[in-house]
């Protein structure tokens, strides 16, 4: 899955030591979409190498590729949005803004591209 938007918050890095003695780090970010009714999505990067490689800053336009994972703990369910790839909007897929939803040069036609054999039947099949 993927989502495009602007980073509006960078939350503090969290870390600890697992039961097996391995250190872990994660960092969460809040992205706001460019939809007509913008949505805020909190996603996380897990692992110090991914956090440093992404180097996400507030105000950046990004496309985030992610997986959704839910787990149960003490009878409650928790859902994480785990990013596995991050692209800057100007380097990868351009950000979806109201100005670039449809190409300006592409004409919008309301008529089908094929002639209808029966003028009263406008279905293509």
Q: Under CATH, what is the fold of the domain 2-93?
A: OB fold (Dihydrolipoamide Acetyltransferase, E2P) (2.40.50)
| Residue 114, pLDDT above cutoff 60 | no
Rounded to whole angstroms, the Cα distance separating 111 from 8 reads 42
- The distance in angstroms from the start CA to the end CA of the chain is 33
What pLDDT is stored for residue 107 in this prediction?
46
User: What mean pLDDT comes out for the span 14-37?
Assistant: 94
| Residue 113, pLDDT above cutoff 60 | no
Q: What is the DSSP string of 53-81?
A: HH---TT-EEEEEEEEEEEEETTEEEEEE
What pLDDT is stored for residue 89 in this prediction?
78
Q: What is the mean pLDDT of the chain?
A: 81
What pLDDT is stored for residue 7 in this prediction?
97
pLDDT tens digit string along 87-112? 997 654 444 444 444 444 444 544 44
What pLDDT is stored for residue 99 in this prediction?
45
What are the beta bridge partners of residue 10?
A: 29
């Amino acid at each position: 899955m993927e989502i495009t938007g602007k980073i509006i918050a960078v939350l503090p890095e969290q870390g600890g030591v697992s039961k097996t003695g391995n250190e872990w780090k994660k960092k969460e970010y809040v992205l706001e979409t460019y939809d007509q009714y913008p949505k805020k999505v909190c996603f996380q990067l897990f692992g110090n190498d991914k956090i440093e490689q992404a180097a996400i800053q507030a105000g950046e336009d990004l496309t985030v590729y992610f997986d959704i994972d839910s787990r149960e703990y003490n009878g409650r369910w928790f859902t994480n949005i785990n990013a596995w790839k991050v692209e800057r909007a100007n380097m990868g897929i351009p950000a979806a803004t109201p100005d670039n939803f449809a190409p300006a040069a592409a004409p919008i036609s309301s008529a089908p591209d094929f002639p209808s054999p029966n003028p009263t039947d406008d279905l293509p099949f």
